[in-house]
Structure 1
């Protein structure tokens, strides 16, 4: 580090023409500048400047060394500018992971909206319902459903959604009597791969203001239903397709259900499941790259 400082001091002495002006530029005393020059020439064992009280002249070695000092300084300045530019304009690789249910219908549209005007941004997207190691896999952002365990990662709640218990219009119509009696044993359940064999759903009335009393949907705002998994799909698109084709009922996020209302219907249109919180995680401890910040804000906006 001292060598770089000495080279910078030498460059300014040559550029400005005197030790006094170099000291003013660097906001140090003349004695400090003189000491740096003396130490530089001593360590190099080369005379760089011939100085008198009125002028200074570069030696041949000094001229060559001065040009290299200028090159070093230009590279350093460019490095600073490039690093700062990354905080002004998004560019480079941004690696993002999100659950299958959120990637295609939420994350992708948000990223396209925010980055389509920035051709220097490169996206690497990973649809994954597990919990990736952000540091080991070089992931910039992880979008996760539900809060993660405490770690050294930065975690921020960016919104929420509700799952909708639904099935094809024909399926719902065929089970009207079962639905009215809340007898669901005859209704086949199509589970996502992350759901267990036994499915438990807790509902609240859409018009309820928080009263948690009661156990049925006639006059009480909350009640519960239990299902047994009959079919299972390892991806959300497959689960969605099975629901549309009448294999049974299952849950899909509300923002996906809204796009399929012509083929799907809610099992209990007057009731709703609990909200599911969505979080954005990253491992940046200091200044967060602007591309990462922009991506998180865009996804949060989409959730909103």
Structure 2
């Protein structure tokens, strides 16, 4: 660090023509500047600057060293400006991971909306239902369902959604009698890969439709009959009548032509969504913009 400081001091002494002007520029005393020059020449074991009471001149070694000091200073200034520019206009690589259920229907549309006008932004997207190591894998943002207990990450709740228990109209019609008499083993359940063999759902009644014949809540338990490792496959199986299962409400809303709710008067509890990142100080503007866009889309 001291070498870079000495090189900067030397550059200003040469560029401004005197120790006095260099001291004024750097806002230090003349003795500090003189000390830096003396220490620099001592460590290099070479004379860089010939000085008299009236003028100063560079040696051959000093001229060559001065040019390199100027190059170093220009690179440092450019690096500083580039870093500041990243906080003004998003650019460069932004690596984002999100669960399969959220990536295509939530994250992708949000990112397109916010970054389509910024051609210098490069996106690397990873659909993954697991818990990636953000630091080890160089991930800028992780969108996750449920709160994380990892203390070294910054996390922010950005919204919520509800899963909807649904199936094709024909499937739901066939299940209504079994639901009424609680013959759950007769109902084929299409599970996402992260769900267990035994499925338990707790429902609360939707506001505005409760009457004396309805209960405030109900609970249903199923056994997994089919399982899919991706949401699109699970969705397709539901539409084609393989059984009933849950999908997020924002996806269900786009497939009401093919799917219907099994319990239209009841709803599952909200599921919180969080955005996580590992930045401890200034967060890059691209990361901030991406999180805000996803939160807006979720909301």
TM-score range, shorter chain: over 0.9
Pick closer, same or farther for the CA change 1:132–1:261 going to 2, 3 Å.
Answer: same
The answer to whether the Cα contact below 8 Å between 1:208 and 1:221 also exists between their aligned partners in 2 is no
Q: Partners of 2:215 and 2:207 in 1: how far apart?
A: 11
Runs of 4+ in 1 over 6 A off after TM superposition: none
Matched with 1:63 is 63
SS of the residue aligned with 2:73?
helix
| Aligned-pair CA distance for 1:198 | 1.2
| Aligned-pair CA distance for 1:137 | 1.5
| Aligned-pair CA distance for 1:182 | 4.9
- Render the CA deviation track for 1:114-167: whole Å, top value 9, x for unaligned: 111111211111111111111222211111111122331111111100000011
The answer to whether the Cα contact below 8 Å between 1:90 and 1:291 also exists between their aligned partners in 2 is yes
2:262 alignment partner, one of 240, 260, 267: 267
Cα RMSD between the aligned structures?
A: 2.0
| Aligned-pair CA distance for 1:261 | 0.5
Tell me whether 1:120 sits opposite 2:115 in the alignment.
no
Matched with 2:78 is 78
- Render the CA deviation track for 1:160-190: whole Å, top value 9, x for unaligned: 0000001101112233333445543432211
Give the TM-score normalised by the residue count of structure 1: 0.93
The answer to whether the Cα contact below 8 Å between 1:18 and 1:56 also exists between their aligned partners in 2 is yes
Q: Partners of 1:138 and 1:52 in 2: how far apart?
A: 55
Describe how 1:124-163 pairs up with structure 2 within 5 A.
124-163=124-163
Describe how 1:31-70 pairs up with structure 2 within 5 A.
31-70=31-70
1:279 alignment partner, one of 274, 279, 288: 274
Give the TM-score normalised by the residue count of structure 2: 0.94
Pick closer, same or farther for the CA change 1:40–1:175 going to 2, 3 Å.
Answer: closer
Deviates more, 1:217-226 or 1:158-167: 217-226
| Aligned-pair CA distance for 1:208 | 6.8
Q: How many pairs does the alignment contain? A: 299
| Aligned-pair CA distance for 1:90 | 1.5
Tell me whether 1:220 sits opposite 2:202 in the alignment.
no
Unaligned runs of 5+ in 2: none
